[in-house]
Amino acid sequence: MIVLGIDPGTAALGWGLVDRTGGSLRLIDAGCLETSPSLGLPDRLLAIHRFLADLISRHEPDMVAVERLFFSRNAQTAFAVGQARGVVLLAAAEAGRTIREATPNEVKLAVTGSGSADKEQVGRMVAICLGLKDPPRPDDAADALAVAIWAANSERSDGPVATGSAVMDRAAVAPMARGESSYDRAVREALARDRKAGARS
């Protein structure tokens, strides 16, 4: 199963493709689409739409997972992110893809075990989950991959997955009865290391 994760924004849009085969996750590709501030907003949205339509038709992801935001320091940011998000959801719907939405907190909780993890911790866990030497750069790409990992693992659980605002917690991505996956092991080990590091400091 291929999942495309998106961290939406008009200036910088993070994207990440992961492939889940059984319990293991693999990075396909990731990056950050930056649109020039010299372009007007409609042209930036056009660029985002074209890029995503192309990405979806090239990789044919089974699922598109998008960060869902509820809070913002200011309405301006909310409008800007909302506009990019609308175009992302449209591109996914036009291609007939399954869409999953999660709040940043849900994603952090599923990937790091803490809803309030910082960017560094998310990047580190994304690297561990995907077997990468270093956290993906830039942060937007790492965030998009975290969303993709969340979605790929939420699909893996045996129970039905609620559409849209499925609240995932660690329990839902806990090891399955038939054995711990490489993802689960990596998370468990990383969390153990974090606890040790925390205890030392």
- Helix axes 104-112 and 139-156, enclosed angle (nearest 10): 70
Give the whole-angstrom CA distance, residue 141 versus residue 31.
5
Distance CA 155, CA 149 (A): 10
Is the bond leading into 136 cis (omega within 30 degrees of zero)?
Answer: no
Residue 199 touches a copy of itself, criterion: CB under 8 A: no
Choose between 94 and 169: whose C-beta lies nearer to a copy of itself: 94
Tell me how far apart the alpha carbons of residues 5 and 142 are, in angstroms, rounded to a whole number. 10
Query: From CA 76, how far away is CA 88, in angstroms rounded?
Result: 19
Scan residues 37-76 and list those touching a copy of itself (CB under 8 A).
40-43, 45-46, 49, 69-72, 75-76
94 is a site residue for a copy of itself (CB under 8 A): yes
Task: Provide the annotated active-site residues.
Answer: 7, 67, 140
Binding-site string for a copy of itself from residue 157 to residue 196, where x marks contact by CB under 8 A and - marks none: ------xx--------------------------------
Interface with a copy of itself (CB under 8 A): 40-43, 45-46, 49, 69-72, 75-76, 78-87, 89-90, 92-94, 99, 101, 163-164
